[in-house]
Chains A and B, each alone.
Chain A
Amino acid sequence: MPLELGEGTATLIGVVTVDEVEELAGWLRATTRPKVNLRRCNHLHTGAFQALLLFRPKVSAAPTDSFLAERVLPLLARQGSEPP
C-alpha cells in the first residue's frame, strides 16, 4: 500500500499512482496542518504532486529517490506560486 494515512502524517511509499491521488487529496483536504513523509517514496504521480503543491503539507522526511529529492522536493518547498 503506497499510502499510510495517519492522524497528522501521511507516509508515501513506493510508487504513488493515479489511483492513490483521490485518497491523498481527500486526506490533505480533511487534515489540518498535514505532514507527509516521502522518505520511501520512489515516484509521485503528477496528480499527487499537484495535490501536494496545492495543500502544501510540511514534508517531514525528504525522499531518498534522487529525482524526487533533487528535482521535485525543491518545487514543493518553494514558497508562493510566483515564478522565481
Chain B
Amino acid sequence: MNPLLAQFLAEAADLLTQVDEGLLQLERTPGDPELVNEVFRAAHTFKGSSGLFDFPELTKLTHAAEDLLDAVRAGELPLDSGMTDDLLATFDLIRGWLAYVTTEERLPSTAGADAASLIVRLRAPIGGEVVREAPTLSGPQAGDVAPAWLAYFDEEWLAETAAWLRTTSSQMRFIRYAPDSGCFFRAEDPLHLIRQVPALDRLNVIEPVEWPEAADYDEYACLVAFVCATRAGMGEIQYLFRYVVDQFELVDLDGDAIQRYLSGEIEIEVEPESGTAEKQDQKPSSSTDPALLADARAVLAASLKALALNPTNTCHLISLAKAITYAAHAFGDPVEIQEPDVVTLTATVTRLLGDTAEAVEDPVRTVVPLVAADEAPAAERRADDPGGQVGSRILKVDQEKVDHLMELVGELNVAKNGLTFLAGAAEEEFGSRALARRIKDQYSGLHRIAEELQASVMDIRMLPLSVAFSRFPRLVRDLSRRLGKNIELVLEGEDTMADKDVIEALADPLVHLVRNSLDHGIETSDERLASGKPTTARITLTAVADGDAVIVEIADDGRGVDPARVRRKAYEKGLISEEELETLSDVDAVDLVFRPGFSTAEQISDLSGRGVGMDAVRASVEKLGGTVTMRSELGIGTSTRLRLPLSMAVTQVMVVSVAGQRFGIPVDLVVETVRVPVDEMNRVLHQDVVVLRGEVIPVLDLARALDMPWIPDDNRDRAILIANVGGQRVGLLVEQFHREVDVILKPMEGLLAYADEFSGTALLGDGLVLLVLNMKEVLGLAARVG
C-alpha cells in the first residue's frame, strides 16, 4: 500500500476515536465551545487529508460534516441529538469505508449513494445547500438498466437507436436533469447548460404534471426537467454538470438495455434519495401502469420516513408535500395540501398507502423501500462492528508506555553502573580481588544486555525519514501546478532513521520550508529561461545521519535570497540598526530571515506567508535541540539545513565539575576542552579572554555565574571548555573535566521549574543527580553577574 495512504489510515483511526468521544461528550455538555472546536478540528483534518487521495465521496461527506460543525461552532445553531446522530452516523460510515479502503485501497462502490442521503441530512439544518466545491459525478449508474424516464424519448427513435447500438455494440448516454425549483435564484440556467452538451442527439422536456393557473404561475420557480441523449464523453458531462450533481442522473445504455425497455421489461432504477422531492418521477397520471404505481408507493414510503427523520423543517415539508401530491395524482386520488404540517402529511401518506395497498399488483415493486435500501448499510456499521479494521495491523502502544520503558532502561543502566562501584569496594574495602573480578564479569554481561535493551527500545521509537518525506511529492506536484511552475522533487536518504518525536516535530518545519521554496524560491518558467536555467526547477530533500544527529537539507535552484534586500527589509522593520545595515555580512544577512517579524514576501500568497514565518521554523527546531542554517547564493539557489538530534531520549553530555558539584553540558555544543596556563589568560574590557589559534574567546567563570564558592587555584592551569552557543564561541572556566556519558534527560519540573539555567536533570551511575546546563541561559546569567 502507498505509505501515505497507510499513514492516513493510521491517523484516521485516531481521528475517528477523537470525533466519537468528542461528540458523545458534547451530547452530555452541549455548547462547550472547546469540545465543538475539537470535533470540528478533527473533521477538518479529515477533510484536508482525504483530499490527498482519490476519495471524492469521503471529501464531500466530511465537508458536509465540517460545515455543520462550523455552524455549531459559530453559535448559529445548537447541536441537538438528531444532529449528533447524523454526525455519528457519518463517522461510522467513514469508519466502514476506511476499513474497506484498508483492504481494497478504494471506497466501496456504494459510497456515493450512502453519502448522498447523509449529506442531505447533515446539510438540512444549515439550509440544505448542496456542495459547491469540487463536486464530482459518480459514474453512470447501472449501465444496463433502463430508467423509467426513457419514456420521454420518442419510441421510434429509441428503437432505431437500440438497433444501431446493438449493431455497433456501443453505448449511449442518457441524462435526466431535474433542476430544483429555486435554481434560477442561483443564476443557473438549465437550458444553457444543456445547450453546451456536446454531441446532443435528443432533447426533451418533462413538463410538470399540472401547470399552475396562469394567475398563480411563479415565473421564477423552475418547474420543468429535461431528458437528453448524447454521445458526449464522461469527462465533458461531468465538467458541465459539476455544480448540479444532485439534480442530475446519468445512465449509459447499450442497445440491449433499450430493447429490453421497449419490449416492456422495465427495471426501474430506485433512486438513492430520500429527502428531496424534486427527484421523484413526475410522470403524468395514468393509474393503470403498475410501475408507476410502485414508484408512487415508493415515493410515499420515502416521504413517511423523511417525515419521521426531519419533522420541523418547513422548506423540507413543502417539498415533501409536493412529492406526495404527485404520488397521489398517480394513484388517481388527487389530494390538496394547503399548509403542510407533519400531522396532515403523515395522515395523508398513511391513508394513500392504505388505500392503494391492494391496487398494486407487482409484488416485487411494492417491497422496494426507498429509504431503507440506503440506510441499512449505514446503520449496520457501528463502533463494535467487527467487519473491518481501519489501518494496517500495527500494534499501537501508547507513547507514554514506551517512554516509561525507556526510563526503566535508564534506571537499569544506573543500577548496572552501580556494580563497578561495588567491584571497587570489594577490592578496596574487603580486599577480595577475585570477588571484584567476578562482579566485573557479571557487570559486562549485564552491560551487554542493557545496551541491547536500550537499542531496541530506541528502535521502537525510530522511524525512517521517508515518513516525513512521503507527503512532499504530492504537495510539490499540486502546488507547482497551482503556481504554474515546473518542479522536480528529488528525495535522498529517505531510509535514514530518526526518533518518532523528531520525525513528527520535523513535519511542520519541513512543509513550511518546502512551501517557501516553491512559492518564493523557485522562479516562474519564463524567469528561469531568461536567466539561462533549465525551465524545470529542482527541489532536493536530503537526509543524512551525522553521528548522533540527522541532517535534513532542503535545497532549491531558485532565485536565492538577496542579502541587500533582506538587510533593507530588516532595517525598515526595525529589526536591525542603521549600523548593522552597513556592516552585516551577506551570510549574517541571510540569517535575518529567521528573525521574528520578518517576512520577505511582498505579496502574501495562500501557500506560505500566513504569518508563520521562518522564525517559527527556527523556534520549533531549536525546541527539539536542533539548529537551522540557511545558505543562499543570489540567482543560484537556497539551501536550508536542519540539524536534529537522532533521538531525544538519550542525550550525550560532557561532565565537568565546579566546587565539587558536577554539571553536564550537551556534547553537541562542546567544541574542545583546553588547559591554559594562568599567565596566558588575558583581560579585555573587564572580561577574561583567552587567545586560541589567533581567535579571541571570552571566558566565563561558571562558579561565579552559578554563585558557587570556588576560587581558581593560581598554581594550576585553567580548565576551559570551549562551547559553541548560537554560532559564537565562548569559554567556560571549570574546575575539572570528567568523561562523557549518555544520560536520559528529565525536564526540570515542579519545584525546579524556575531554574532556567538548567535544561534538565539526569541520574548518574553512582546514584548522583547530574544537572545539565542550558548554555544560553548560563551565558545570560554570567553577563548579568558581570
Which residues of A are in contact with B by a Cβ distance under 8 Å? 18, 21-22, 24-25, 29, 43-47, 49-51, 53-55, 67, 71-72, 75, 81-84
Verify if B697 is at the interface (C-beta below 8 Å from A): no
A5 to chain B, nearest CB (A): 15
Q: How long is the Cα–Cα vector from A21 to B569 in the complex, in angstroms? A: 57
Task: Return 12 A-B CB contacts under 8 Å, by A number.
Answer: A18-B187, A18-B220, A21-B184, A22-B219, A22-B220, A47-B184, A47-B222, A50-B219, A53-B207, A72-B191, A75-B203, A83-B206
A-facing residues in B562-604 (Cβ within 8 Å): none
Contact indicator A45/B189 (Cβ below 8 Å) = yes
Contact indicator B214/A54 (Cβ below 8 Å) = yes
Contact indicator A25/B191 (Cβ below 8 Å) = no
Contact indicator A55/B191 (Cβ below 8 Å) = no
Contact for A44 among B152, B191, B203, B204, CB less than 8 A: B191
Verify if B195 is at the interface (C-beta below 8 Å from A): yes
Contacts A46-B184, A54-B211, A71-B203 hold; do A25 and B217 have CB atoms under 8 A apart? yes
Q: How long is the Cα–Cα vector from A55 to B217 in the complex, in angstroms? A: 10
Contacts A83-B151, A83-B284 hold; do A21 and B219 have CB atoms under 8 A apart? yes
Contacts A72-B191, A75-B205 hold; do A82 and B214 have CB atoms under 8 A apart? no
Contact indicator A83/B200 (Cβ below 8 Å) = no
Verify if B155 is at the interface (C-beta below 8 Å from A): yes
Contact for A43 among B151, B192, B214, CB less than 8 A: B192
Chain B residues closer than 8 Å to A25, beta-carbon distance: 217, 219
Verify if B680 is at the interface (C-beta below 8 Å from A): no
Q: How long is the Cα–Cα vector from A55 to B213 in the complex, in angstroms? A: 10
Which residues of B are in contact with A by a Cβ distance under 8 Å? 151-155, 179, 184, 187, 189-192, 194-195, 200, 203-207, 211, 214-215, 217, 219-220, 222-224, 284
**Chain B residue, CB-CB nearest to A25:** B219
A83 to chain B, nearest CB (A): 5
Q: How long is the Cα–Cα vector from A55 to B212 in the complex, in angstroms? A: 11
**Chain B residue, CB-CB nearest to A75:** B205
Contact indicator A84/B154 (Cβ below 8 Å) = yes
Secondary structure of the A contact surface, majority rule = helix
Contact indicator A50/B224 (Cβ below 8 Å) = yes
**Chain A residue, CB-CB nearest to B202:** A71
**Chain A residue, CB-CB nearest to B203:** A71
Chain B residues closer than 8 Å to A51, beta-carbon distance: 217, 219
Contact indicator A18/B154 (Cβ below 8 Å) = no
Chain A residues closer than 8 Å to B192, beta-carbon distance: 43, 45-46
Given contacts A51-B219, A84-B152, 18 further A-B contacts (CB under 8 A): A18-B187, A24-B219, A25-B219, A29-B217, A43-B191, A47-B220, A50-B224, A53-B205, A54-B211, A54-B214, A71-B200, A72-B191, A75-B204, A75-B205, A81-B284, A83-B206, A84-B154, A84-B204
Contact indicator A46/B217 (Cβ below 8 Å) = no
Contact indicator B190/A46 (Cβ below 8 Å) = yes
Q: How long is the Cα–Cα vector from A21 to B194 in the complex, in angstroms? A: 19
Chain A residues closer than 8 Å to B184, beta-carbon distance: 18, 21, 45-47
Contact indicator B224/A46 (Cβ below 8 Å) = yes
Chain B residues closer than 8 Å to A18, beta-carbon distance: 184, 187, 189, 220
**Chain A residue, CB-CB nearest to B154:** A84
Chain A residues closer than 8 Å to B153, beta-carbon distance: 84
**Chain A residue, CB-CB nearest to B193:** A46
**Chain A residue, CB-CB nearest to B206:** A83
Among B154, B184, B206, B207: residue with most chain A CB under 10 A: B207
Contact for A54 among B187, B203, B217, CB less than 8 A: B217
Q: How long is the Cα–Cα vector from A51 to B153 in the complex, in angstroms? A: 22
A37 to chain B, nearest CB (A): 19
Chain B residues closer than 8 Å to A49, beta-carbon distance: 191, 224
Contacts A71-B203, A72-B191 hold; do A46 and B222 have CB atoms under 8 A apart? yes
Q: How long is the Cα–Cα vector from A41 to B92 in the complex, in angstroms? A: 53
A16 to chain B, nearest CB (A): 10
Contacts A18-B187, A21-B219, A43-B195 hold; do A55 and B214 have CB atoms under 8 A apart? yes
Chain B residues closer than 8 Å to A84, beta-carbon distance: 152-155, 204
Q: How long is the Cα–Cα vector from A45 to B153 in the complex, in angstroms? A: 23
A52 to chain B, nearest CB (A): 11
A40 to chain B, nearest CB (A): 17
Q: How long is the Cα–Cα vector from A43 to B152 in the complex, in angstroms? A: 23
Chain A residues closer than 8 Å to B211, beta-carbon distance: 54, 81
Contact indicator B214/A29 (Cβ below 8 Å) = yes
Chain A residues closer than 8 Å to B179, beta-carbon distance: 46
